Amino acid sequence: MAKISASPSPRTFAEAVAENILAPAAEKAAGADGVLDTSDASRIDALDGLDAHARALLKEAAALTGTSAPTVAAFVTAATDRVKRDAAAAAGADGRLSSTDAAALPADLRLAYFALRGAGDPLTIPARPGVSFSEAVVRDVCARYGLTDAGALLDQALRLDDGNLYLNRRELEAAAKALNAAPADRPLSFSEAVLTRVMSDFGISDRAALLALAARFDADGNRYLKRSELEAAAKVLVGRGAEIGVVSDIDKTVLPPTASGAPLKDPYPGVATLFRILESRLDGTGAKGDVHYVTARDPSSASEIPAWLDLHRMPRGPIDTGTSPLPWIAESEKVRDIEAIFEATGNQKYVLFGDTNHRDPEVYKRIREKYPARVLAIVIHNVKAADAARTAGMHVVDNYAVAAAKLLQDGVLDEASARAVMDAAQIEGLPITDAEIEELVDDHRPG
């Protein structure tokens, strides 16, 4: 049933938004205490239906009201004034808000206009033969990121698909971000003095590149880039350079133990996606050829590894083999092999992957001591208990969802990439829930 006429006044539109969207959504988001603060972020993100159109304004509650924990009533009053101003600007000289005028509204209000008119969903969701997805999730992602072209969203999500041709929420949200659709249409703001200081501290001269990347670290959605968000982006910009390299052990790092004579097992959940993203970035624009495998296996026992890599969509790369599986021999061999890689690749920076089974922590400690500026992170798969002194300054992880979280915290991965790894790990059998993924991301956002 329509809540507004075809051409309401800005005041009538704002009052309808307040009554039908802002007030109900704010009450749900605020919870029992009746105030809106940072602890309500998960409830805001969980809003759906008409309530979802209030997300962008709810995330600006503090800025709109001038207080860090406004009441629901204070928020609704301030947000209604904002809606009225936006509607008046879109309505033009005649003072009426037509469907044509609505195109000039911010994305969240544009979708709210059509919903309140009862004019049906303005989105057309096209079919993609052979591809599965939830229409409800597509609609929600479009509303959340201000998209009106669902076809473009699906096409971009297909480029990010993990290969199963099912577009889940995280792939769709990653696609929305790749389309540069922010949760609100308002421009980013920041302190010029803070931006200048961050650029100076990190030796960055490309202002536009830093700001474009920092927009992806606006985790609170308030469209204001604070120092920690600018610094997180700067770390990525400086840390990545042109390309990130990977050096990885094989057995018990990416390949689970396999009985003698049996087919090689599938990789650990999520590791193939993680390596592909480090190799080629989430959007596929990175150059290939940056992954190197270093193993104590001799050449004959490593002969089946290239086919295994291809089968599981692991990035191909040179495989440096050893002459002995004995740890005290293999350690020095691995160090020499990795030193050769570093010497042959200029100033390229690397993420190193190993496990706690033998001497990978000792190998990577020696590499880090020799090339401190070129080791972005060391990830050690925890397959047996190791003395903490062996792994000091390294990320010891039980699975690759946690590894992705640690690399997000380091600024090596952005949030969309980390989520893609976590989602792949879940699909491939890691017993991790959606709520646990959200907690991992929340706990490891830079800044």
Average pLDDT of the segment spanning 140-158: 76
Residue 182 pLDDT: 41
Residue 123 pLDDT: 64
The pLDDT > 70 percentage for the chain reads: 88
| The two structure tokens encoding residue 249 | 């052990």
CB of 352 closer than 8 Å to CB of 378: yes
Q: Any idea which residue has 């297909």 for tokens?
A: 158
Separation CA 285–CA 140 (nearest Å): 28
Residue 184 pLDDT: 41
How many Cβ atoms are within 10 Å of 235's Cβ, its own excluded?
Answer: 19
How many CA atoms lie within 13 Å of 334's alpha carbon, on the beta-carbon side?
Answer: 31
| The two structure tokens encoding residue 230 | 């600018």
- What is the pTM assigned to this prediction? 0.51
Separation CA 375–CA 352 (nearest Å): 7
The pLDDT tens digits of the residues spanning 305-353 come to 999 999 998 999 999 987 666 767 789 899 999 999 999 988 888 999 9
* H or E segment and range at residue 248: strand 244-248
Residue 207: partners with Cβ closer than 8 Å, 6 or more residues away? 195, 199
State the pLDDT confidence band at 216, using cuts at 50, 70 and 90.
low
How many Cβ atoms are within 10 Å of 270's Cβ, its own excluded?
Answer: 27
The pLDDT tens digits of the residues spanning 96-133 come to 888 777 767 776 787 788 778 765 455 678 888 778 88
The pLDDT tens digits of the residues spanning 247-298 come to 999 999 999 998 888 899 999 999 999 999 998 876 555 667 889 999 989 8
Residue 430: partners with Cβ closer than 8 Å, 6 or more residues away? 269, 270, 399, 400, 401
| The two structure tokens encoding residue 48 | 């759906």
How many Cβ atoms are within 10 Å of 211's Cβ, its own excluded?
Answer: 15
Task: Report the chain's mean pLDDT, rounded to a whole number.
Answer: 84
Q: Is the pLDDT of residue 183 over 50?
A: no
